[in-house]
Structure 1
Amino acid sequence: MRTTIFVATLAMAMLASASPELQAANTTAAQIKRAANGFLNAFSAEQEKRGFAVAYKTGRLDSRLALATCNRPLAVSFSSDVWKTTQPTLQVACSGDRPWRMFLNTTVTIDGDGLVAARPLARGEKVTSGLIKAERVTVNATRRGVITDPDQLVGMEMRRGVNTGTLMTPDLLSAPAAVARGDHVMITARSGNFSVNSRGKALADASVGDQVLVENLSSSRTVKARVTAPGQVEIPM
């Protein structure tokens, strides 16, 4: 029989080690809490190696809770993205002869070096290493995701203006245009290993990977192409 118990909560994945208590007549609230805390402690230790500091607290469980005996180690995992919320849910599950699962509320904060604007940045401004700086932040405090690697920022353009100290998140950035309206581009028509090149003119701005209309300067036809690199577009044959 599969019993599913939902207790409003938060969390992530891994097996907890077996202990004599897990083989008791029932799986108790105390045993579930120990499994959850063991999982979170292991997560904290792993992130510490990467330069992050993790603090956590598990939610309350009714001490009278008693679930079917689990003849396998309890499996604990985050059921939501711990890097985008400070209140992830933990799933605690038994996959033994009498399987069950439940969810446990948690509070988890992950502190680390996030990147912020070193000065006010204008819309359309290209980000350089001198325009950003590292600052200690709670990296999972925003669902937008915090950028911690400078290589993900340098060369990108600002979608909108921001003030000094604004935390840099992916939604603030866009890839710079690889072709601009009016640019002359090389059009490659490709089929397998066979390709034909011709000259064209871009009719709009576009970044690598975007679709853009280009005018073939030989035929005067307008075609839709995919930008593959600065000044280069490709169409299927």
Structure 2
Amino acid sequence: MRTTIYALTLLMSSFSAFAGTELTATQVHEAAVGFLEIFAKQQAANGYKVSFETGSIDDRLSLAHCLNPLSVEFTGDPWKSTRPSLQVACESERPWRLFVTASVSITGPALVAARPLTRGERVTKDMVTTDTVVINATRRGIMRQAQDVVGMEVRRPVNSGSLITPDLLAAPDAVERGDHVIITAKSGSFSVSTRGKALASASVGEQVLVENLVSARTVKANVVAPGRVEIPM
């Protein structure tokens, strides 16, 4: 995600008094803080708490005065890093840009393991719970709703209280090797179905080899639902 928020108009008014002069480290710092304050308010409206601190800026800094409002943006995704950089830029007759470091913490609800989870388990609602965590402390993402993980398969052991991240879960196999399946061949609105047998296990969206039990031919099909595969014509 690339988030861009322009500095507040009030910042521009504070800069106007410096027309024809140079911008200082203090003014650049004010623009960065104003941007982060807006970001924090936006996330607060969605139930997240944002705390931040900008890195130091050399007090000796002097930049050409900007005739337009300074623009500030994240150079990376603040939801996946607690140390995102900010780009403060001037788009004017004498353009320039400056990078400012920042420490950003986004705290909010996310799913964690309610008990130790073992590899191969199918997730049920009582296996997860919601806790308040620093969401951007992990680059692997989070899961917010129990209904999004129920029925998923645990890929590797998870300790109790550990954050549930997408890479810890996998969609369960919709067909198992040896299962009898319905093979549907489709072309536009026309379709024809027959019986088959899966020659491997696969989840929805994956391809699998199936044996047509009528013709004894082996074909490659897409798994579209539990027990159902489809072949485009």
TM-score by length of 2: 0.91
Structure 2 partner of 1:7: none
Residues 1:179 and 2:175 are matched in the alignment: yes
**SS, match of residue 83 in structure 1:** helix
Q: One-letter code of the match for 1:203?
A: L
- Residue 61 of structure 1 pairs with residue 54 of structure 2: no
Partner of 2:6: 15
Deviation at 1:109, TM superposition (A): 0.6
User: Partner of 1:36 in structure 2?
Assistant: 32
Does structure 2 conserve the Cα–Cα contact (< 8 Å) formed by 1:12 and 1:89?
Answer: no
Question: 1-side partners of 2:88 and 2:151: how far apart?
Answer: 43
Q: 1:104 to 1:196 in 2, by over 3 A?
A: same
Aligned to 1:104: 100
Paired residue for 1:219?
A: 215
Secondary structure of the residue aligned to 2:99 is strand
The DSSP-based 3-state class of the residue aligned with 1:47 is: helix
Which residue of the other structure, out of 180, 200, 206, is the alignment partner of 1:204? 200
Q: Which has the higher contact order (CA 8 A, sep 6+)?
A: 1
Aligned length in residues: 227
Distance 2:130 2:163 in 1: 10
Q: 1: CA distance between counterparts of 2:181 and 2:75?
A: 47
Task: Show the counterpart of 1:6.
Answer: none
Summarize the Cα distance change of 1:22–1:195 in structure 2 as closer, same or farther, 3 Å threshold: farther
Distance of 2:73 and 2:221 partners within structure 1: 44
After TM superposition, the structure 1 = structure 2 runs for residues 119-130 of structure 1, keeping only pairs within 5 Å, are 119-130=115-126
Code of the residue aligned with 2:8 in structure 1: it is: S
- 1:2-53 deviation per Cα after TM superposition (whole angstroms, max 9, x unaligned): xxxxxxxxx9421112323434322322121111101111111111122211
Q: Which digits, 9 at most, give the CA deviation of each residue in 1:45-89, with x for residues without a partner?
A: 111122211110001111221222222211111111111111011
Give runs of aligned pairs for residues 64-83 of structure 1, distance below 5 A. 64-83=60-79
Long gaps (5+) in structure 2: none
1:171-210 Cα deviation digits (max 9, x unpaired): 1000111111111111122222222222111111111111
TM-score by length of 1: 0.90
Name the CA distance, whole Å, in 1 between partners of 2:52 and 2:27. 18
Residue of structure 1 in register with 2:228 after alignment: 232
What residue ranges of structure 1 are gaps of 5+ in the alignment? 1-10
Letter in structure 1 aligned against 2:6: L
* Contact 1:12/1:91 (<8 A) preserved: no
What amino acid is the match of 2:4?
Answer: A
Cα distance in 1 between the residues matched to 2:198 and 2:226: 11
Structure 2 CA distance for aligned equivalents of residues 87 and 17 of structure 1: 23
Greater CA deviation, 67-76 or 21-30?
Answer: 21-30
SS at match of 1:54: strand
SS of the aligned residue for 1:108 comes to strand
1: CA distance, partners of 2:101 / 2:67? 24
Percent of aligned pairs sharing the same letter: 56
The answer to whether residue 80 in structure 2 is matched with residue 89 in structure 1 is no
CA-based RMSD? 1.6
Point out the structure with the larger helix share. 2
